Amino acid sequence: MMASPPTTTASSPVVRPPSPDAPTTSIEARGLSRCFGAFAAVQDVSFTIPGPALVAFLGPNGAGKSTTLRLLTGFLTPSAGSAYIAGLDVQTDRSLAMTKLGYLPENGPLHPEMTPPEILRFLGNARGLRGGELAARMDAVITQTQLGDVLGRPASKLSKGFRQRVGMAAALLHDPSVLILDEPTAGLDPRQVDHVRQLLTDLAKTRAILLSTHILSEVRAIAQRIIMISRGRLVHDGPGQSLGRTEAEMEHRFRALTAG
């Protein structure tokens, strides 16, 4: 029988200071490539994200964004190149690298009959969290992602927006130093989008966040840096306003970089 949901608190989210011995580089891609038969989904992609930052990862549909994120998180094996999380190779040091990483895949699966607290408790136990430590982390992420109103509902009864917020809570549960998020505001209403953007801005003060999105207004609002791929190749890497200062300028530049 499942244990009862934890009591949520109204306390502010716990902000973890960066470890003094944390590696300089939080996320690194070195010549990442991935082929599916004759099709090259990702081709020789390299970039480095050192320390705390909020970096937007852009590209048109089918550009290879999600494939690149799966390579960075170790969920796919590269055809060539390597990926590192907190200085750890995600292929050869996968178990340790996963302790540093929180990953929210696009449309991440949730057990349909489990409630949000049951999902978080199961995932916390899988990560070795127990007792008071697990209860404290559950309370923190439930507050951060504003899940208090749906704690008793099974995942199958949640809206897409709330399922996305459960996925975000799961990514934050073990308090990782690196977050890789694939379309975290998909399915959220405008008020929820504003909350998630503020949450990500706060989290980026103490950890590295790579945020895949196609919403240029979101990039303009919160990104400190922009990395863009098109047809599997890196086509742009620059500061937050490097595509322009207005959405119209950004859209024009986006189209120019991904044309053809």
pLDDT at 109: 82
- Give the contacts of 71 (CB within 8 A, at least 6 positions apart): 29, 32, 34, 42, 77, 78, 81, 83
Q: What is the pLDDT of residues 154-178, one digit of tens each?
A: 999 999 889 999 999 999 999 999 9
- Give the contacts of 36 (CB within 8 A, at least 6 positions apart): none
pTM for the whole thing? 0.87
Mean pLDDT is lowest, of 6-10, 178-182, 216-220, for 6-10
Token pair belonging to 252 = 């024009």
pLDDT at 17: 43
- Give the contacts of 147 (CB within 8 A, at least 6 positions apart): 8, 116, 162, 165, 166, 169
With bands split at pLDDT 50, 70 and 90, how would you rate the model's confidence at 225? very high
pLDDT at 104: 94
Q: What is the pLDDT of residues 196-216, one digit of tens each?
A: 999 999 999 999 999 999 889
pLDDT exceeds 70 at position 140: yes
Q: What DSSP assignment string belongs to the chain?
A: -PPPPPPP--PPPPPPPPPTT--SEEEEEEEEEEEETTEEEEEEEEEEEESSEEEEEE--TTSSHHHHHHHHTTSS--SEEEEEETTEETTTSHHHHHHHEEEE-TT----TTS-HHHHHHHHHHHTT--HHHHHHHHHHHHHHTT-GGGTTS-GGGS-HHHHHHHHHHHHHTT--SEEEEESTTTT--HHHHHHHHHHHHHHTTTSEEEEE---HHHHHHH-SEEEEEETTEEEEEEETTTT-SSHHHHHHHHHHHT--
Q: What is the pLDDT of residues 10-55, one digit of tens each?
A: 333 333 444 444 444 699 999 999 999 999 999 999 999 998 999 9
Q: What is the pLDDT of residues 98-121, one digit of tens each?
A: 999 999 998 778 999 999 999 999
pLDDT at 260: 67
Q: What is the pLDDT of residues 45-98, one digit of tens each?
A: 999 999 899 999 999 989 999 999 999 999 999 999 999 999 999 999 999 999
Q: Give yes or no for a contact between 63 and 231, defined as CB atoms under 8 angstroms apart.
A: yes
